[in-house]
Structure 1
């Protein structure tokens, strides 16, 4: 069963839809804005503390991990709010699970950031 959306999608580039999704997440989800702000701050500190190429690669992988997890979390929340607008214990569990995925990604990013930045901060200060 083809929907109107599928017909429209065949005629245009999917990049537009992806950009719309990112725009939605940034405008409607405070956590996405917080993560994006942290990414910007880490990039600035990366330049100040002279992060090397390998460290940049690791940082950008972790940026992608966290931001992707947050986008998926937002997608699941929007979908569940649409499909089950009434309060349901299973919906709550699913939302908690996706939020937990974002937390895991964020903790991994934090640990990698500490591994990269703490030695640089110590050598910068002393």
Structure 2
């Protein structure tokens, strides 16, 4: 049991090491974090509902997760085959496409959440 707990704690160390590495070196992750933080600030400003927070956090988490996996796939491809290769390029394009899907649907969620708040805010400013 002691060995099991020690192993899990060691795993958590690797989790935070990987997250720090992504946040400190990968421009796509840094950009997605800035965008996500902007939406979190909007959520605080507009005092969105609990359900809206759930969708917002899920969307941000999904984009960061898929972006992280895309980075891992790209690094693996570059390690396995450093020179340009048609099939490696296809693998990288598909991984990037997965990020695109996540980002598009996260944006749709953001629009569904914030559109009513922004239009109400705009109408109040006009009056």
Q: How does the TM-score come out when normalised to structure 1?
A: 0.88
Correspondence list, 1:85-104, <5 A: 85-104=82-101
> Which has the higher mean CA deviation after the structures are superposed, 16-25 or 51-60?
16-25
1:13 pairs with 2:5: no
> Normalized per residue, which structure has more helix?
2
Aligned Cα root-mean-square deviation (Å): 1.5
Q: Structure 2 vs 1, CA of residues 60 and 11 (structure 1 numbering), >3 Å: closer, same or farther? A: closer
Q: How does the TM-score come out when normalised to structure 2?
A: 0.88
Residue 24 of structure 1 and its aligned partner are, at CA, apart by 1.8
For residue 6 of structure 1, what is the aligned residue in structure 2? Answer: none
The CA distance in 1 between the partners of 2:103 and 2:8, in whole Å, is 37
**TM superposition outliers: structure 1 runs of 4+ over 6 Å:** none
Q: Structure 2 vs 1, CA of residues 119 and 12 (structure 1 numbering), >3 Å: closer, same or farther? A: closer
1:110 pairs with 2:107: yes
Structure 1: any 5+ residue segments left out of the alignment? 1-8
Structure 2: any 5+ residue segments left out of the alignment? 1-5
The CA distance in 2 between the partners of 1:37 and 1:25, in whole Å, is 13
Question: Would you say how many aligned residue pairs link Structure 1 and Structure 2?
Answer: 118
The CA distance in 2 between the partners of 1:46 and 1:32, in whole Å, is 21
